[in-house]
């Protein structure tokens, strides 16, 4: 059954024998490059914005963009003219480099969502207008779905933008897009004004020294051994005498603090832009998983009586890892933090099961399943990142050296974030004990 808007004859001029296929394959190639570059550049927004819900939303959009790029690549490879490589043209990359350059993170978000992504939506709509819906049925159905995603993204981001009026920065980005003829490069290019200046050439992008947590109180770490100081008391977490209700509260805080992983994993994309796209696809899934895990705690803790405005966010891991290479960051994440968490999390899962809390059991089961996949990602992609950076040591030797380097950097960059709140104001293990054992 052909959709009612299917074109039975095109309006494009006749060319060579395969011109129609090559023309549309060229469009698919451009769309793939734009979605791919969105994944590796929009991730720089995640640790720069402070609103936790916005972080979660950006992770979701990055994951969906990675899905778009993968399907575009697979469909494009079926058509003559798509090309064999996965590189992004410099004229496209320059626009994304420019888009991430503002110091104001919300200004940068607005540039992405009020200029670059609307232009992507327009490019998808142009594709549908120009292709033959019967001959190019597989592409058409994909693009129809992606158009719905882009429209939803625009609606979802709107509450986080400051104004509906176009800013000078957004007009600046529009000039960049017009100079290449739009994402499909199908329009006549409009030369940049004589006084135009690229921001990123004067101020190359670099990751901030610390991540942004907005209005939430912060500290160096939520793990410790003092019930009157720390929310997650290490000894309590594994002590069989600890009330299971306290264990549940502490593990939800642990899950919520996987926001640390969201922020530092997001830095790896930009630093590995020349990596195989399949790696960025898996990293985007990894990022979205960590975002969901953090949401497990973020959504559940208030239901159990925890005031999130008094729960400090830990910054140590980002502050330390951002000093390391992307290969070292990924090695610590997958080979050390995630691989090393399984024994403790197994005990935690057993304790929480005592409560007959089906929702908690479900969330922890999915967390464990995802983490197992992430360790597999580490084994698969760490060697690729090492090779990309010219690292020639065996993986095991590199990981061992990275642990030692992390410990050294922790002495310099760890423990430097003071508590935003006093012990009396902030959530501590003692507070969790009282909260868990209070009579209903």
pLDDT greater than 70 at residue 4: no
pLDDT in tens, 11-24: 555 567 677 889 99
pLDDT in tens, 43-68: 999 999 999 999 999 999 999 999 99
Read off the pLDDT band of 437 (50, 70, 90).
confident
pTM of the predicted model over 0.75: yes
pLDDT greater than 50 at residue 428: yes
pLDDT score for 229: 96
pLDDT greater than 90 at residue 313: yes
pLDDT greater than 70 at residue 39: yes
Distance CA 429, CA 437 (A): 12
Distance CA 329, CA 337 (A): 11
pLDDT in tens, 241-264: 999 999 999 999 999 999 999 999
Q: The tokens of 321 are what?
A: 């890892």
Among 268, 269, 390, which Cα is nearest to 318's? 268
pLDDT greater than 50 at residue 70: yes
Distances (CA, A) of 51 to 56, 133, 219, 279, 421: 9, 42, 17, 27, 19
pLDDT greater than 80 at residue 176: yes
By mean pLDDT, which of 11-15, 193-197, 238-242 is the weakest? 11-15
Read off the pLDDT of each residue in 4-12 and give the average, rounded to a whole number. Answer: 45
pLDDT greater than 70 at residue 132: yes
Beta carbons within 8 Å of 246's beta carbon, 6+ residues apart: 236, 429, 432, 433, 436, 437
pLDDT in tens, 335-378: 999 999 999 999 999 999 999 999 999 999 999 999 999 999 99
Could you give the residue ranges of the DSSP H alpha helices within 182-276? Answer: 199-202, 234-238, 244-256, 259-271
Beta carbons within 8 Å of 165's beta carbon, 6+ residues apart: none
pLDDT score for 309: 97
pLDDT score for 247: 96
pLDDT above 70 covers what percent of the chain?
Answer: 96
pLDDT score for 17: 61
Chain centre distance of CA 356 = 33
pLDDT score for 13: 54
pLDDT score for 89: 96
Distance CA 157, CA 114 (A): 10
HSE-CB of 360 using CA atoms within 13 angstroms:
25
Q: The tokens of 231 are what?
A: 């929310």
pLDDT score for 252: 97
Beta carbons within 8 Å of 40's beta carbon, 6+ residues apart: 96, 269, 270, 272, 273, 280
Work out the mean pLDDT of the chain and round it to a whole number. Answer: 94
Rg (CA), the chain: 24
Read off the pLDDT of each residue in 200-219 and give the average, rounded to a whole number. Answer: 95
One CATH from 2.60.60.20, 2.10.50.10, 3.30.70.1450, 1.20.1260.10 for 19-202 = 1.20.1260.10
Residue tagged 């190359």 (tokens): 204
pLDDT greater than 90 at residue 438: no
Domain ranges of the chain: 19-202, 218-437
pLDDT score for 9: 40
pLDDT score for 16: 72
């Amino acid at each position: 059954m052909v959709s009612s808007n299917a074109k039975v004859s095109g309006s494009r001029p006749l060319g060579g024998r395969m011109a129609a296929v090559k023309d549309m394959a060229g469009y698919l190639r451009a769309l793939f490059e734009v979605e791919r570059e969105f994944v590796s550049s929009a991730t720089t927004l995640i640790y720069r914005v402070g609103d936790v819900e916005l972080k979660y939303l950006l992770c979701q959009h990055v994951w969906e963009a990675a899905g778009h790029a993968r399907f575009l690549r697979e469909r494009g490879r079926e058509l003559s003219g798509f090309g064999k490589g996965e590189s992004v043209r410099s004229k496209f990359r320059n626009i994304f480099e420019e888009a991430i350059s503002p110091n104001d993170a919300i200004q940068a978000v607005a540039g992405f969502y009020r200029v670059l992504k609307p232009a992507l939506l327009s490019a998808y709509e142009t594709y549908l207008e120009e292709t033959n819906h019967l001959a190019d049925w597989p592409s058409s159905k994909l693009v129809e779905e992606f158009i719905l995603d882009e429209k939803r993204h625009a609606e979802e981001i709107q509450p986080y933008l400051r104004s509906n009026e176009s800013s000078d920065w957004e007009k600046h980005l529009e000039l960049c897009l017009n100079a290449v003829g739009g994402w499909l490069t199908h329009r006549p290019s409009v030369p940049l004004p004589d006084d135009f200046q690229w921001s990123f050439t004067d101020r190359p992008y670099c990751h901030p020294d610390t991540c942004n947590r907005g209005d939430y109180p912060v500290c160096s770490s939520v793990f410790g051994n003092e019930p009157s100081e720390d929310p997650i008391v290490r000894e309590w977490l594994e002590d069989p005498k600890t009330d299971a209700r306290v264990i549940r509260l502490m593990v939800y805080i642990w899950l919520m603090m996987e926001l640390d992983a969201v922020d530092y994993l997001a830095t790896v994309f930009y630093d590995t832009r020349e990596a195989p796209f399949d790696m960025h696809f898996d990293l985007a899934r990894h990022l979205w998983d960590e975002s969901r895990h953090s949401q497990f705690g973020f959504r559940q803790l208030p239901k159990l009586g925890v005031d999130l405005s008094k729960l400090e966010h830990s910054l140590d891991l980002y502050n330390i890892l951002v000093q390391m290479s992307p290969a070292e960051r990924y090695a610590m994440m997958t080979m050390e933090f995630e691989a090393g968490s399984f024994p403790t999390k197994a005990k935690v899962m057993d304790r929480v099961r005592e409560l007959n809390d089906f929702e908690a059991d479900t969330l922890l089961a999915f967390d464990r399943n995802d983490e197992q996949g992430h360790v597999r990602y580490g084994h698969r992609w760490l060697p690729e990142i090492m090779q990309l950076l010219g690292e020639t040591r065996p993986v095991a030797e590199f990981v061992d050296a990275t642990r030692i380097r992390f410990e050294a950097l922790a002495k310099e960059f760890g423990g430097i974030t003071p508590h935003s709140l006093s012990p009396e104001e902030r959530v501590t293990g003692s507070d969790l004990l009282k909260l868990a054992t209070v009579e209903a």
